[in-house]
Amino acid sequence: MSANAITVPSEPGRNQDVTAAGLARDARRERAFFLSLSLPALILVGVCALVPVLWILRQSFQKTGGEFTLQNYQKMLGSELTWKALLVTLQLSGATLVTVLLLGIPLAFALASAPPRIANRLMVLIMLPLWTSILVRTYGWLVLLRGDGLINRALLESGLVSEPLPLVYNFAGTLIGMVHFMLPLFVLPTYAAMRDIDPNTIRAAASMGAGLWRAFWTVILPLSAGGIASGSIIVFIYTLGFFITPAVLGGGKVSPIAIRMERTLSTFQDWGAASALGVLLLVLVALLAAMIFGAARLLRSARTGS
């Protein structure tokens, strides 16, 4: 008998191939079968995602009459407003990511450390904002943060401030709304990664003399790095295209690239220039994603090499 053959009881009327090559072939067939089941959904999603992108790409190279031109890109890249919008976009995404990291990691750790019943109830409260429209939530923050809103009124009545704080129609108000929206999306993968950590690992660190903070920094954070990285990518990439929150809470004073596109369409009805801005945003997202995944691959290779 061959060394890579496996002996199993045979079923009547069935010719079984139980060699290593046969098992590998069966595994490939199983993967192909499940892929064929998901193929219609993949085609639908692919068409719905690619067709608008190809249409925007085509529009960005056309004049109003349909003639081919590079003028749209020349006009957008030569405009100072475009570069300011890109800078504001990166600032908003970066500030949102840092704030979500500072709030989300301790929150996910608290959820992972809590008993399952309490953790499930807290998770419902965290996910509750996602059940409400982003427009409703944004206007809710507008009511809370404006000069005569609930927060400023409470601060004035308590004597902590002598005049209303500028909490809305600026960068800070926009950041608050974006963090409120993105925090649950960051907590989910981070909590899942921390929950899967073997408690015996933490007990072993404690038995070696590590306190809570040292165990958190040297054991919990490294083991949950995958979930933290996934949540960070979701937050940063997602916030690059935010429109409603900057439009409402920014009050026209915070203009990321999405606001710039909307104004190009609503004011000038210039589909070509707006499409060129959309392509620039797609290129920015693709470059950032490539940089993130490249850095992650380098870290993995350095870790395995060491």
Can you list the domains of the chain with their CATH numbers?
Answer: 1-60 (no CATH), 73-305 (1.10.3720.10)
Spatial neighbors of 47 by CB under 8 A, at least 6 apart, are: none
Section 213-240 average pLDDT: 89
pLDDT score for 3: 46
- Please tell me the distance from the alpha carbon of residue 88 to that of residue 235, in angstroms, as a whole number: 16
pLDDT per position as a tens digit, 242-291: 999 999 999 889 999 999 999 988 888 889 999 999 999 899 888 888 88
Task: Write b or e for each residue in 252-287: b if 16 or more Cβ atoms lie within 10 A of its Cβ, otherwise e.
Answer: eebbbbbbbbeebeeeeebbbbbbbbbbbbeebeee
Cβ–Cβ < 8 Å for 167, 146 = yes
- Greater confidence (130 vs 107) lies with 107
pLDDT score for 303: 66
pLDDT score for 32: 87
Q: At what angle do helices 80-113 and 225-239 cross, to 10 degrees?
A: 150
Section 161-189 average pLDDT: 93
pTM over 0.85: no
| Integer Rg of the chain from CA | 26
For the cut 60, the answer to whether the pLDDT of residue 12 exceeds it is: no
